[in-house]
Structure 1
């Protein structure tokens, strides 16, 4: 049973009925939500009783309940509607993007999945995600992977920029390539290597993009991520899509 009964008139006034109802529909208790997003159950109780969570937790709860943040916290809607329609969400760091968001993002693709990174090791180490990409390719989705050529000057330079050293970055690319090999053997998956200076890592699922800008001196995992949708022909999403295609056209097939 949800611990959602107020203990005072004040709590009843503040009760977040949207959140409470969504949890009931999902058959989840406060302890279940707390375990999923790694917070104390008392924290979830406070949210039920009207406290607004941190943005990262709001996104995680909305994702768990398979709904939109604005449906759970309508008071946030005016501020979010002020954003251009092509901006779906902004995450302060790549590590703040819930793992379930990555999987739902790629699982929703019907035609194209495209990834542009130097190593993308955080994805390559996710066995479940690799299986998802393989299944998408078998279902007819065109899956393209663009990784940095491990011995290229641009990979070495990025390692120095992040402060981890060129050898470490090169090793990460080699490790990622090893993990992506089995995926590249699936029909419908293409893997190429580029030597481009990347100003952003790009992840595409049809018209949706997750864009991770590169910041000098900051690892990509700590840089922001924008979720864009290509709603117009001259928006930011189209700019990134065209950039991907230019790099893809110049990249070399990865040796088997």
Structure 2
């Protein structure tokens, strides 16, 4: 089916197939194929859209179904709970034990994870799962701020150190990296391959009181990828635990 959106945009801009092709580094015949309905590579889609003062969605809506009027980010939400404490222990275990490529954790302590199933260390080792764990640096000022926000009465720093100690059987595994961050978190992230549980933070509530979302990756543009990129941003700021 001919791409009338592209043809119309070219006419409106007064751009020929040859001119658009030069802007994208392709020949006029290739642009003609696009006009006939062929879907260009994303790099070329972006270059053409920029040259025509349009968006990728304007010219090739089929390439971004996540932006269609009927699309919904909810397609990636497999389940939701009003409190993290309502997430079944079996689900935490199933996600972590089911990982075959990666586990990423972003949290303040993540204390509920390290003892959710005694088989976790052997599962990580057997399947050579690459694990990255980003926890709060117990010596940073933000620990005191979080303690005050959650009204923990000065106990939060001890909880952080306790969680770091309880996870030693995980940290010592050869495929596990532990990093300490100093970030103000707005949610926790527990990723296992293409699934994750995200806990958005609510003001003055404690960890177990926050809601939780179980996400399954559906596209590279959805909720899942948004949180995955957040993990990468924080991970880039992490430093090793002193003494590692």
Matched, 1:136 2:150: no
Unaligned 5+ segments in structure 1 are 1-81
CA distance in 2 between partners of 1:139 and 1:238 (Å): 24
Counterpart of 2:100 in structure 1 is: 110
- In structure 2, the CA distance between the partners of 1:179 and 1:100, relative to structure 1 (3 Å rule), is same
- Which residue among 89, 97, 117 is the counterpart of 1:99? 89
Quote the Cα distance in structure 2 between the aligned partners of 1:133 and 1:182: 7
Alignment of 1:27-46 (within 5 A): none
Note the C-alpha offset of 1:94: 0.6
- Separation (CA, whole Å) in 2 of partners of 1:222 and 1:88: 20
The structure where helix makes up a greater share of residues is: 1
> Would you say the 8 A contact 1:194–1:251 is kept in 2?
yes
Deviation at 1:133, TM superposition (A): 4.1
Per-residue displacement from partner, 1:189-228 (whole Å, max 9, x unpaired)?
1111000000001000011110001111000101100011
Q: TM (normalized to structure 1)? A: 0.64
Alpha carbons of structure 1 residues 137 and 254: separation in structure 2 relative to 1, 3 Å: farther
What is the match of residue 204 of structure 1? Answer: 191
Q: What is the CA distance between 1:121 and its match in structure 2?
A: 1.6
Q: TM-score, normalised by structure 2?
A: 0.67
1:163 aligns with 2:151: yes
Instruction: Identify the residue that residue 218 of structure 2 maps to in structure 1.
Output: 231
Larger radius of gyration: 2
Equivalent residue number for residue 220 of structure 1: 207
1:119 to 109, 113, 131: 109
Cα 1:100–1:234, aligned 2, differ >3 Å: closer, same or farther? same
**What displacement does 1:85 show?**
1.5
Q: What runs of 5+ residues in structure 2 fail to find an aligned partner?
A: 1-71
The CA RMSD measured in Å over matched residues stands at: 1.6
Length, aligned pairs only: 172
Structure 1 residue 122 displacement after superposition: 2.0
